Amino acid sequence: MSSDLHSLDGRKVLLIMGGGIAAYKSLDLIRRLKERGAFVRCLMTEGAQQFVTPLSAAALSGQPVHTDLFDRNTEAEIGHIQLAREPDIVIVAPATANLLARMAGGFASDLASAVLLATDKPVLLAPAMNPKMWENPATQRNLATLQRDGLHTVGPNNGLMAEAESGNGRMSEPLEIVDAVIGIVKTQGKTERPQLLIGRRIVVTSGPTHEPIDPVRYIANRSSGKQGHAIAKAAAAAGADVTLVTGPVNLPDPAGVTTIHVETADQMLAAVEAALPSDIGVFAAAVADWRTAKAGDQKLKKDGKAIPPLALVENPDILATISKSKAMRPQLVVGFAAETQNVIENAKAKLQRKGCDLIVANDVSLDNGIGVMGGDANRVHLISADGTVSWPTLSKDDVAERLVAHLAAILSTETQ
């Protein structure tokens, strides 16, 4: 998380608080933004005021809180337009299902929706809702519409909800939102990267998968998802229409990317198939090779007797399934090989076995000197039918940008 207490000096932030229990986190978000030098103004929907009071938000922000579209004092000066144009960035936290629907539909029936319709500034959404509401196709359609319109998203996270249900729908933590804000405002005013992939569709997988043993235990690995998420972000910056299918990670969703959260290998394969067709498929996820033949309905208990058997079956091979599919195969298929020995030799064998066009191989052994699993650096080798190219140790963001440029060059050559 960002620790630079001057990273938002002088930035003006409008925080729109939707009506959900997660609104209590938005009070801490105000404090975190101000700690980093931001000027924060708050707007609360009628629903938000059922969970936290305007007085609390005003006390933390040091500014009056806006609640009413038809306020006689502010609207005499066309207040909702001023609110829309004044900030450097608008944050919607919590972004409820209702708010997402109204934004996607272009409604302006209250102050929040009117401001969001009128603003020409970056908008960051921090969704928060019941897992079933989040998974509902209507919500996902609304979110996809807003992302296509250029709005940024962070979260939601997976975890226990207020109503004692568990799943995707928890609003991102305040510091996660702050980091997303910093990332967005840092790009304002900078020269845009070349749009090398404009008009292209890309599907990226990222993170681990969690294969349940029982309701509380699962089979997983040490993948952080940082490299896959960086690739999705770099592809979006290069102009591509990106769908990211990610297993459970502690990372914010990349801005400008349609992100689908899954847990198991079966779910990841289904989500990838639903996201096709695409021009490029980048399969960076560390998918668990095996799952239990039958996950327990209840927690397995130690009884001092025999250790319960753990029968395993193979998970679907997502990379091979897509690479060898005549109907679904992208023009360019990229796999990843995380190896602990004989890195290049094993990657070459994997290239042949999986039927993909390119393997990005790296050494994930504990003594590799850079701590790839969970770290911020990577050292990769690109394995293809044309040979092997080895890159020096780079940040995962730099690896992502170089890889995206490399893939764009391959597509350009193939289409000439």
- Binding-site annotation, residues for CTP: 289, 299, 316-319, 336, 350, 354
> What crossing angle do the helices spanning 226-237 and 396-415 adopt, rounded to 10°?
50
And the tokens for 130? 């019941």
What does the radius of gyration of the chain's CA atoms come to, in whole angstroms? Answer: 23
Whether 231 and 284 have beta carbons less than 8 Å apart is answered as: yes
Taking the C-alpha atoms of residue 181 and residue 37, their distance in angstroms, rounded to an integer, is 13
State how far the Cα of 348 lies from the Cα of 112, in Å rounded to an integer. 55
Q: For this structure, is 221 an active site residue?
A: yes
The catalytic position among 98, 136, 158, 221 is 221
- State the SS3 of 158-214: EEECCCCCEEEEECCCHHHHHHHHHHHHHHCCCCCCCCCCCCCEEEEEECECCEECC
Residue given tokens 């608008």 in the structure block: 90
C-alpha 127/C-alpha 93 separation (Å) is: 7
Question: Which run of H or of E encompasses 382?
Answer: strand 380-384
* Residue 169: closest CA among 179, 159, 181, 182: 159
Tokens of 65: 């809180």
Q: Report the DSSP pairing between strands 280-283 and 12-17.
A: unpaired
Nearest one of 199, 179, 222, 227 to 335, comparing CA atoms: 227
Q: How far apart are alpha carbons 215 and 172 in whole angstroms?
A: 24
Residue ranges for the binding site? 289, 299, 316-319, 336, 350, 354
Rounded to 5 degrees, φ, ψ at 384 are: -145, 180
Helix (H, G, I), strand (E, B) or coil at 153: strand
Coil, helix or strand for 40?
Answer: strand
CA dihedral defined by 30, 31, 32, 38, rounded to 10 degrees?
70
**Residue 125, beta-bridge partner list:** 92, 153
Q: Indicate the SS3 state at residue 377.
A: strand
Active site residues: 221
